[in-house]
Each structure stands twice: as structure tokens, then as C-alpha cells.
Structure 1
Amino acid sequence: MGWRGVLGRPMSVTLAALTAVTAWGTGPMAGVSSAAPGDGSDSLVEDFAYPDRDKLLAEKGLKLVSGDGHITLVGCASGGSDLVRVNSRTSGDACFAVSGPVGYLALEIKRSYLAKSDSREGVTATVRTENPATNESKVEEVALEPGAWKSLGEGLDPALASTVLELSVGEGKTPVVTGDAARPWLARVTVGRPGQQGGKGCSGALVDRTWVLTAASCFSDDPAKPVPAGAPPREATATFAGKAPVRINYVVPRDDRDVLLARLAAPLTDIAPARVAGSSPGDGAALVAAGYGRTGTAWVPASPHNSNVTRSSATDTTMALTGGKICKGDAGGPVLDGNGRITAVQSLAAHAGCLGQSGDGDGSTAARTDNIVSWLTSSAFNGKAAFPLDEGAGSRRVLGGAAREFTAELVGGAEPGAVGKVGTALKLNGTTAYAATAGPVIDTTKSFSVSAWVKLDAKDKNRTFLSQAGNHASGFQLYYSKNYDKWVFNRHAADTDDTTIARSISTDTAQAGVWTHLTGVYDSATKKVQLFVNGKPQTAADFTTPWRASGALQIGRLRWQNAWQENAAGAIDEVRTVQSAVTQADATALSTGRLPEHLQELASFPLDETAGATQASGGMGSGPVATVAGGGAQLGVPGKVGTALKLNGTTAYAATAGPVIDTTKSFAVSAWVKLDAKDKNRTFLSQAGNHASGFQLYYSKNYDKWVFNRHTTDTDDTTIARSISTDTAQTGVWTYLTGVYDSATKKVQLFVNGKPQTAADYTTPWRANGALQIGRLHYQGTFQEHFAGTIDNIRIWDQTVSVGCSRTNAIGHRGAPEIAPENTLAALEAAADRGADWVETDVQFTKDDRPVIMHDATVDRTTDGTGRVDELTAEEISRLTVKGGGRVPTLEQVMASLKDRPARLLLEIKGPQSSAAVDRALRLVSEAGMTDRTLLQFFDEQVVRDASASPHRTKVALLRSALDADPVATARQFSLSAYAVKFSGLSARPAVVDKLRAAGVEVFVWTIDTEAQWQTATAWGVDGVITNRADHFVQWRNAHCAEQ
């Protein structure tokens, strides 16, 4: 039985869904199977139905419906002091234990009338009651006070009959999850609210900084239908040990098996992702299944468990396992081979011994992942990703991320190197020139998106910039139409000569000689094709007959009526292809030259390998492979981050099969190194030519310093351009080295622990066509200068990078106003979910002294209302509609929304305000538990003084349009934690940044939205950039900043 065939069993039910229940014998328990079928085909998705509830009904007369596992039935004489007690006229006392900060339980208990919490605060009892005489029902919510019996149900009105009860505790708090030190990448995946309608629990594994591999069944509401790619059907999170839950904002399912990739709203940079095997372990192999599922005694355990299993057989899509104890909640959990690599994810089982499950076998079914590595790679939205590469001791290979799977051959006079929109571009002559891959890039039967910058030279005929060929027609076409004189994205309805065409056509006339960004999107869910021009949506068109175009991706021509035609005349740049339908926000980002949540790295070698591994994996994909050779190399030794590669200084090294860097263009390399011996030159990184090397990052015995150099020619007698460290190199100390070659300035420059060293001129770049070398140099035709020491976290870029700006915080000004209306919850959450380190917002006080989120003193500009904020009550403001959608949030709502998100809160209280109002806001921050994550900023100096005098004091910042005469003195006068200044004001004296930082004061700059401004501000060394485009700044920072 396939995984979709076993998901039809009803899930848990909430109080709202139970309000139609009128008869005790036909309540929500009816029809809900709590027994596994015993054939290995029971879904492993945790539905949060209460374990053994049929047995408890028979024994105690209690119908326990569902819960999150943290409120459970216990004996009243159990001796615990943290019990919740419910008394009914039919069942007497029923007692429940609360474990952890969060708990939920739904049950049916007839004629309840009293409840109390022995000692736990924050417990709420919600009861549904009915009047038998009138058949009317109502829901009551009663807050239980520790040690005091409270009336509910019949206790409030004897004429009412109570039926359904919910107990909850810790609303808004984060449940505690612990982990396995050997597998920090293991996650608990939660969809919906545990114990409530549609709530589900699964397991998963971080396989890239922004992607979790799990089971598609966890996101399925209808087993007869496939899970659609896109936003999850309800709120979903992934929780890793010791961390707050991270929201899942996009899912990519695999159609033929129970596998799904879930994209995280914010990347996790401090967890080394799991490795995915690229080969099958074979029948009889000993494997380990890991997950956060039930055990024999625990319903929703806080820590994961492992099961030793054996592979008995396999099909193309599934793997049959025997042994172990695999239970509900383990769905999506990884099945690991002997090297700790993921070879499958758990899907179905009916194991004996699981709490509340009556399975009687030890067989289970997992969905294979070892034969879909290329799908995993192509399905991730961030096409070029950084992978952690966890090879262990004994491994002979290390892998770099960012595989480049497709090569487009230039044909017919296509000219690379033309002036582009971003760097250089491909020039096409309009008659014979094009570029094409060897085979298809896009699956045109599924959702996809394509985009490019184009500059049209001639409008004398149709000009095609992107297409993918079939036999007679093309799977799509992004082009200029002479007939319409407009831009068009189309899809041919069939692969025939006489096919009809669905077109999305631009509103405005196409312009020649102007760089224009075009994005074409096909959405298989809506069955629409849509064009975006410079990020703006054009009218969509219906397209209902997708077919697979199995030919090559064509840059600059079209396959139509079994012939090649409509060649592009002009230039094309920054071609992107994505196997999903991008949103308007994504299309806008693409039009500004950025791929959302995209880390623009050519390769990554963190070398976080675990001991015992025999093969490396680059997370979801395979990038450049470096083979360890020469003897004397040790993987798995302690590193700067995780583990590292140790080299013996005589024979050991690692090398790729071919070049990784195009040394004729800008590039950057970096690594953590720990030098053991200074008796000779020691090379950490290089790329070989025939006689010399394209670059060298090394220790120089002659200078006794760190050096980044470039050989001027590939000859034995080449001269050398060197950037040399100011300070002497140290042995036995981890040092972070970055070497940068900038083709625009014709300079090479070394950075040591983020600090720039003197650059050197370099004017003769040449292409080093040999392998990337880790631990040795090719010079005068021989390999030499082997490294003695340890190397970790190698990173390689195909561009220049800034060193140190990775610490610059992204601060979302009024949230993300390009995505949602300013200062709305949607805008603030969008900034936080797209990687902003801080969310900046404004507080005004209402007539009744309630703090609401509003920049202006009046509501006129941003809402459908009129009047001053301080002349309207909070209730009146709550009824206003924000222009563009949404409501005006309160400060409490904002803090509740951000509490489980990693972003911090930068709160500007608009002045002037009374000291009482300022204190009230600070008290709310304190009560919300947000003091340590909140920074208050003010223009008004008196408000700063009031905030500093408040008993609820938090960190404060002063806002300035221009610099004070002595900003450090001002910071000390007001005990500032941060000094926020306008970009134009700071540009007058940027040297004050270092002075303020030396005084322990952070420096923020406002409000800047262009890359040029970001480059300038980060070069000044500011701690934070306040911007309306925080999501774009995060992408820019990831692409251009090396770690410090």
C-alpha cells in the first residue's frame, strides 16, 4: 500500500469542531482508528490522538480526544504537586499532569462542574455546555488559579450539561526540545497546532541551511491528492534542539514517494547539515532510523530516539526495513547508512511496543532518497547553496557545494564578455548566435519560473531570449513579439506544428536598447502562465495542457514548427531557472538582480566531517569533489567549526578533479588555518596551472607572515604579486585568512581575521586550468610547499567579497514595506521571516494610553480613518483598515508575533511622550519577556531620560539626523547602547564609527536602500543597516561578505 493509501484516518479534533456533538455515544471518538493495521502500512504521522483512549474510556469513563502530549491523565494519588484536577458528577475526580511550559488536552467529560490547578499558573479550562431544554450551547473559558477550585460547566449553572473540555497552559510559549549531540540537524516538524484540528507531528533533517528533508505525508490533508508545491496548508515549524521553532514558508513535494523539502523562513548558519547518500546501501545493510516519534512510554517525547534496523528489500521508490521500534511522529525522520548519511526517510510502520499503537510486527517502509539526489538539488529554491560536507576520519574525498549541473555551449557567433546589467553579458547577433545546454533543465510539466535581463537591439521580427525545445514546438518562450510590439511569455499547448499558444503579454510597449528584466512563470496549481516586467505582474493567461519539453534549454532562439528560428538580437544577462512558481515578491527581487534566499557562492568546504565516515556528501547536491591523497591526511580532527582536515606537511593534500575558479575574473577564497610548523613555506590553498599557480594563500618563511599572491604568468620564471600581512604569523592559533582578486581594480588583497592588509597591483590575470589544491602549491612544474597544520571552513566565491560586513545587522525599517503595508504584522513578520536581524517599528499612544504601532501622529496617511492617534481610543483604531490590507497592531500583538522568531525588536517611541507612557511601554516589554531582545530608540532626549529612569529599563539608542560634536560623549551622557544616525549625517565623519564601537556603543545607519549605500556603510564598519529592503540586504550581505 502506498503512503497516500493510509492517510484517510481521521485526525484530532478541536473544541470548535466538537460543538456539533450532542450524544455521548457518538462523539469525536467515533470512527477514529487508534489501532495500527498490523501490516506495516500505518502512517507514521503523529495525529495527536490520545493514546489508548478506548481503553481509558472503558476503565474510567473519560473520553480523551487529543492533545500535544504535555497534559496527560494520571492517578490523583500519584503524589505530584503540578496536577490539574477536574470534578464531574458522573466520573468524580480526574487528574492531569502538566509537563513542560506548554500543554493542551481536549476531552469529553460529562457533567463537569469544578476544576483547579494545584500549583501551575496560567492554566485555562474551556468548556462547552448545553441547555437540554433549549438545545442551546455556549463555550466558557475559565482561568484556573493555583490551589483554588473554580466553578465551570454545571458548577456555573446546574441547568446546563457540560460535554467537551479543553485544558491549556503556556499559550504562546515555546515547547522544550532536546537533541542528540551527534545529530544536531535532526528536527521535530510540526504542522498546525498539536492536538487541534489538522495538527500533525513528524521528524526531519536539515540538509541545507534553509531546507529540511521530511515526509510529504506530514503536509497532506487529503490522501487522494498530491501535496502542492508552495506555502504549507497551515502554519508549520521545524524545531531543533536548544532553538526556537523556525517557520516553514515553502514546501516542495516529490510526487512518486513520501518525500518533501521544506524551506525555512530563516537560514540556520550554526548547525552543520546532514549528509545525503548518493548510493544505495544494499539489502541486508545495518541502518539507523532516527526521529522524535513516540516510544514505548512517551507520547510526544522531548528528545529523539534511534532504532537499529536492517534493509530487507527495495523498489525504485521505497525501502523495506525490519527491526527497531518506529512509531507515530517518526514520519520524515532519516534512515542513516553506516557512514551517517541519509539514505531514506521513514514513512509507514505498524510496530509493536509503541505507546497507544497496537501493531504486532517489526516491519516498516521508508521512502528512498539515495536515488533522487539530483531532484533534491534542483528542487531547492536556492540553486547554488553552501553545503557543510561532514566527511570523517578515513574519508578520501571532500565535497564542495554549489554544483553546476548544466553547461551551455556557445554557438554561431555568440559573444560572451559584453557589457552586462550585472558584470558582463552574452551578446547575440540575431541570425546564427545562441547558447544551448546538452539536455533539458526544466521539467515543463510542473511549476517553473525563468528570468533574465535582456537588452533588445532590433524590433524587426520576433526575438526569443529563452526557451526549452521539444520535437516540433517549445515548452515555453520568453521573447519580444513584433506583432504585439511587446514582451511575451508563452507556452505551446502541444508539441506539434499546429499547436495553439497561451500568452501573457506586457501592458507597455517593449523598448529597444534598454535593459529590461523579464520573468516568466508557469503555476501548475492555478494553471496559469504569467509574465513579470521589471518585477511588475502582467495579465496572466490560462494554460491547461502542460507537456514535457525534453530538449535543451535555448538561450537566444526558439524551436517552432520543427525548425530553429526567431534568434535574439541583443544582449542577455543573469539567466535564472527555478522549478517552482515564484511569487510577485520573488519576481521583484529577481528584477533587482537578486535570487531570493540565494547564497552566491561557487563552492564551500567547511570540512565538518565526523570520524568514521568513508565518503563525503555535499548536503543535497554534489559540488566540486576534492580527493584526499598523499598519505598523512586526517579528517575528523577538532576544527574551528566542527571538525577539520589535518595535513602532515610532507605528502598530504586534497585536490579537485579540475578547476573550481576562473582565475581570469574576480574571485575570493577563505579558510580557517592553524599552522603547526614555520620551517618552510606552507600553502593552504592554490589552483594549479601547468608551471605555476593561479593564486596561493600561504605562510611565507621568508617574511614570517601570511601572504596571498598571484603568479603573473604560467611559467617557471614568473614574477609574483603579493599582499602580505602586517603582523607576524602565529603557530598553534586559529587564524582566518581571506584572499581577494578584484578584476576591476586589478588588485590582490589579503585579510587576516577580517582586517585588510596592504593590497598589491596585479595586471596580468591568466586562466589556471588545473585542480584546486588544498594543502600544496604547483610551482616551477612541481608540487611543493605542503601545509603542516589544520584547515577548516574553506569558502570560494566567483566574485569579490567584503570582509567583516557579515556582522552588519539587517534592520527592517517598519518591517518589510515592499512586501506588506508598513508597520503591519504582515510587514513585520515578513522582515523577520526573510532573515532580518532586527525589526524596527514605531509606537504611538492612543487616547486611552494604549501603545499602537503607527509612525505618523495621525492615521490619515496609512489607514481609511482620519484623526490624531492620541485623540482616538484603542478600540476605534482597531476597527480601522490599513491601506493595502490589514489592521493597526498593538505593541502587545507585535511582541507576541516576534517572540518565537529570531529577530530582535528595535522600538521607536514617538515623542514627546509623558514619562508614564514611556514606563507603560517598557513594562509591557518586560511582561512579554522581551527586555533582552528589545532596543528602544528615540529622537527626543527627554524620552531617553525617562526610559533610563524607568524601573523597567531596557537598552536605549538615540536617533540623530546629523552627528553630535562628540558622539562618544553624547553616548556616555545618555548611557546609550546604540547610536543611530542618518546616512548623510554619518558620511560627514565616518571615522566616528570606530570611536563609538571602541566605547562599547553600536552604530546604526538609517535609512538606506541601495547596494552602493550598503557597500559604503558596511565599509565604515556600522553594526546595523536600517533599510526598507531588509530581505534584499540579507541576500546582498550573504553574497558579498566573508565571515569575520
Structure 2
Amino acid sequence: MPAGRWRRARPWSVLVGAALMAGVVSTPAFGVEDDPVPLAPRITSNGPYTECTANDCVGQGEPGLAGMFTFRPNVADIDAETGSTDVTGYRVRLQSEFGATEVSGAEPAPYAVVPNVDGPQVLEVQAKDWGGRWGTPAYFAFKVKPASGAVGQWQFADRPTDPAVTTTKDSATEGTERHDATLKGGATWSDRARRGRGDYSLSLNSTNPDKGKAYAATAEPPVDTKGSFTVSAWAYLADTRSDQVVLSAPGAREAAFNLRYSAEHKKWAFGRGAQDADGTADIVSYGDAANPPGGVWTHLAGVFDTKRDTDKTNDTVQLFVNGRPQGQPVNLSAQAAAYEPWSSAKGLQIGRTRADGRYQGYFHGYVDEVAVWQRALRPVDVREVSQLETEGGPATALVADWNAGPAVGSEIKDVSGYGRPALALSAAGAQLRADEAGQSMLALDGVQGYAAAAGPAVDETGSFTVSARVRVDSAEWAAKPIGYRGIVAGQKLEGESSWALVLTKFDTDVSAWSFVRTAVDAAGNVTERVEVQADDVMGDFDTPIDLTGIFDAAATTPGDPDASGRLRLFIGSTQQVTSPHAGLTSQAQGTGELAVGRGVDGGTLAHYIPGSLDRLRIWSGALSADGLATELP
């Protein structure tokens, strides 16, 4: 029986067995006619969220900001004489979230509820009695304000027609102060931009890395670096011989933060100086992967989090690369006892930093889509920013385009404007021939013919799209053995392909397309492999088809929002049915040969495919279905 007094009188009936009545020794049996389940508990907000009324529902807080709530039994469930209750805990859930949590005790300490989205929210709480039964739910309606936006944003899309104009606008809308940036030291605009055609980026002397001291800067600081803040940018790294600073906030002697490439560690890095003094410690969050590729667009973000208090011992910094957190947040006080949060009094520097009282670390390459927030963005927020969403879906940039149509001789040049190496045709088995329209196509014998260039063309830890226009020779393919895998295009990664467009022969008359991604460890052993296969068998032999593989690095797996990365396959403009779990959660970045007509699979460099190839294109970013449709012939 439960200890304490019950909240209502409960009739117990003792059923006395016939054997006991007859004087036979027996253990009596007890039956319990239980009382009603607990009534709706009381919910009290301790801030910052307030309860909505019929005529008033004011937004408070923001997504990710915890609200503190107190739960107590319904007054009717408390014994008026003793104050006791048989309520033993509560079940708590936000109706906008999956799942619920349990809280023990009739009068638990204030409980933190974290809304992850803005707008109206409903908190649902049920009390549990000593018998484990859940009672009538209580509801607490409140509203979450949208999170504050970027306080500074420089998109560099406003390239002036007058060469004398050297200012780019701060296009942020949060707050009333704007901080336009001035281009200096030879900095200019470039049409190699992350949003693709018609867009522009900041060019920082990528053609002359030995002499370049180009940068852009605001006159005043757009964020207070003593409080929580986030900075982000797209960077196109052209030089890895020395430190390359993308963004910084200088003081008199040092920088309050640096978002940069570290030549010493060969990694991306985000950190801040412990103090504004010469020789101060630089506390850094480094990228997980060494030797990030140059000549590709990479999204970088740095988050400084004070935890919304004045206790410097819990301040942290963390780097994000292509929307993914790198390691764990780095505690600043634990790394440097002299650490003090301090405010930069100078303007934001794009492309350089300040150390020991002088400017240095000039960036060589391109920078685009710079933004700063006066708050610590959550991982989900950073991932969303890295998608670079537009009205038509994620923005993409065509960064490689090998078109055989105008090609002559023994190579196919890149016509994307990014100056990629040409695809060099193999000495045997590959040649340029005229198609039906008189345009060149790359003919492949399926035995030793291919074309290759030095890769990669894209940062494969982020979102990208690859599309090939190919014909498969039916007679030559029929001669291939069952189980044969022919690779149309792929990027080498040790003894595998980081990505590949593949045709597999499952039976004599059964072949199917697939898009494959593979991750390996430091020893080259496969750690993860994901393959998205076409819905139907291959039937379009001897005719051109457009085969497209898309890796969406920001897409999450159902039930596991921390596991991001999804593969999609299109044949023509038709998306093939994809398993919701067709995701590559490991980071995989290929290096070396980028080839058409052959590739690496299972440790073997071969997998020649017979037929011809008209074109291979690669985009930074995940094309939407509508976006792909506009790119196809």
C-alpha cells in the first residue's frame, strides 16, 4: 500500500476465501478498487515566456532559449489536512517536438523547456500517481519570438559600374546601424561568386599571392565581441603556404577573433585572443580534417558563446565547416588562465587580421556572403545558414564545366570560368568524334579509354551536384560480365571514389544507374559507403541521357537531426525514389584524379564504360529539382 494519505477515500474489499472461513490456514487475497487518475497539474512559468490569454499572446525569448517552468499537483490532488499527495512525477512535452520527458517528484525543481522553433507553442504536462498511471493533461500556451537576424551582411552583389566606387553595402536589416565595407589594397569584385551566374564576390589578389595585401573593412565594429556573437563567410582558398585570415575583429594589438586557415595545422580555425596585448594566447577551435582542398567554395562559421551570463569560465568558441560543428566547444578559461572577454574597437576586417600591433595574414582567393550576428547561433542555425537558401531553393554555383562540344585535339577544356585543368584524353581508347549534330563528343571504348584532370573541383564535405550527359554502347555493354560496374565519372579517394556515377550489370538484361559516396579512414579503409540506385533498370542504351547525383550536406536523417548528409539521384529531370536513410554522415573529401570513363571502386582503378560523354558539370551546392530542370537540355 502507498505511504501517506490518499487524496480520496478508496474502498478496499477483503475477499475471504472459503478455506479460511473453514479454519484452513491460507494467505488472504486483497483486491483494490483504485481511485481516479490525477487531475490536470498546475504549470507556472518562471520566465521568459508568458502564458497566452484569449486576447493577448506576446512573443518572448527566441528558439533555443530555455524557459523555466514549475510543475505542481492539482490542488484537488493534495490532502487538505496533511498536504500529502500520491503524485510522484510528471510527463512533459512541447507539442511542436517529438517525444516527451519524465520529471520525478511531486514538487520538482524548476524545469527547463527549450523551444526549437518560433511562433505559438503549447506545453503539455501530465501528472503520474504512485501506481504509474498518467492523469489528465494540463496545457500552457505561449509564443516564441523569432531569433534576431544578422546585424551585418556583406554579399558583394553590388559591383558598381563606376570603377571609382570602392564600397560594398551592408545589406542586413536587423537594427538601425549599417556598416558598409570599403575595398582596399587592390581588392575588387569577381564573378566567381557563391550564388552563381549574375552574382559577385570579393576578390583578394588570388592571382598574385606573394604581393597581395588586399582586404575590405568597415569603419566601426558591427558586433560587440565581448558578448555572444557568430560570424560566417564563404571562402575560396587560393594559397595554403601561410595563414589566410577570412574575418577578424582587431584591437590595438591583437584580434578579438580570427576565422582563418592555419598553415601550421593545415586546418580551418576559429579562435580569439585571450587579451588585447602582444604575445597573448590564441585560443582556437580547429577543423576536424587536415589539408582542406583549395580552389573550392567552403562555408565557415565561428561561434563565441558566453552562455548569456557574465561568468567568463564557461565562455566557449567553436568552428563550423560546411554547417558541421568541428569537435566540441573549446572552453577559453580552461585553455588560458589570463583570458578576459574583450571588445574590439575597430572595424570588421575581411581578408586580414592584427597581431603584435601590425596587420598580417592577408587572404588570397575569394570571399563571399559575409554575415555577423550578435548572438551564438545554434548548430541547426549554422546548418541552415550554410544552405544559402533562395526563393527557388539552395543557391548553387557552376564551378566546373567540361563540354566536349567545342573541344578539339586531345583535351576537353573547362568552360565554367573557374579555370579548372582540362580533361586530358588517355593515349588509347578515347578520342573526340563528331556526333549527329556535328559537335564533338568523347568516345570511350570501355576497355582503356578515359579522360582525367587533377581534382577536386568542389568541397565534398559540403553540398554539391554532379551531372553527366552520357551514351552507353549496348553491344559493348552486353559483352561485360554480370557484376561489372562501369564508372561514368568519379573523384578518386585513396582506393575508392569519394563520389561516382555508376552503371552496374546485375544480370544479362538487368543494369541500373547509381550515385555512390564513400568515406575512408586515415589508413584508406572504408568506414562508410552509401549508394542510391535508380528505380528502374537501364533501358536507354545508345541514346544520350542526363545522369545527376546530388549530395545535400544539410539534409538530416529522420529521427536523428544531428546526422546530416543525403544523396539523391536524377535520371533526366526525374528524381529516383530515395531511402530516407540514404545519407553519408562521415566527412569524405577526394583528392587526385577526377576522371570520366573510368574510376576507382573496391581498390581497383578501372571500371571503364563503353559509349560516349558529351558533358560533365559540377556545382557547389545542392540543386533543387526545379533548378536541375532549368540546367538540362
TM-score interval for Structure 1 and Structure 2 normalised by the shorter chain: 0.3 to 0.5
Q: Give the structure with the larger strand fraction.
A: 2
Of structures 1 and 2, the one scoring higher in RCO (CA 8 A, sep 6+) is 2
- Give TM-score scaled by structure 2 length: 0.40
**TM-score of the superposition, structure 1-length normalised?**
0.26
Indicate the structure with greater helix content.
1
